[in-house]
């Protein structure tokens, strides 16, 4: 699981939809504070459409033996497509299927600092 999470974070930082989706089961759902619950392919296409760059500073990876669950704690430096930058602390909760693919991802963070920049960008696009 640790290797898969490292691969996930590298693909996320590289904004590689193809690399990310290779880690997910076909019916995987991502639960995001900004985007809600979406199929993984739709979530990452939306995220990268709204992004200019991102940088991840990993704080730790945690898992419990004999489960198919793990967590990653990191700081996410996000530059939106509008050029606005934001930094926030994230915990991603991963659930894996029997083929070692991500079947569910819950992204947890406080949106108080991020939502205003995100909303401004969304309103400019209308």
**Which residue(s) pair with 114 in the sheet?**
none
This prediction's pTM: 0.90
Mean pLDDT of 1-29: 96
Number of structural domains the chain divides into: 1
Residues 82-87: contacts with CB under 8 Å, at least 24 apart: 82/52, 82/117, 82/120, 82/121, 82/124, 83/52, 84/117, 84/120, 84/121, 85/117, 86/113, 86/114, 86/117, 87/113
Mean pLDDT of 5-31: 97
**99 confidence band (pLDDT: 50, 70, 90):** very high
pLDDT at position 126 over 50: no
**pLDDT tens-place string over residues 51-80:** 999 999 999 999 988 889 999 999 999 999
Domain carrying residue 33: 2-124
Give the CATH number, domain containing residue 55: 3.10.450.50
């Amino acid at each position: 699981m640790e290797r898969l999470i490292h691969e996930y974070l590298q693909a996320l930082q590289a904004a590689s939809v193809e690399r990310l989706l290779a880690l997910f089961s076909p019916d995987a759902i991502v639960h995001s504070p900004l985007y809600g619950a979406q199929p993984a392919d739709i979530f990452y296409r939306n995220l990268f459409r709204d992004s200019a760059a991102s940088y991840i500073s990993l704080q730790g990876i945690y898992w419990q033996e004999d489960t198919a669950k793990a967590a990653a704690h990191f700081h996410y430096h996000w530059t939106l497509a509008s050029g606005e930058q934001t930094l926030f602390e994230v915990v991603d909760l991963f659930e894996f299927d029997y083929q070692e693919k991500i079947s569910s991802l819950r992204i947890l963070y406080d949106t108080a600092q991020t939502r205003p920049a995100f909303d401004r960008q969304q309103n400019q696009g209308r």
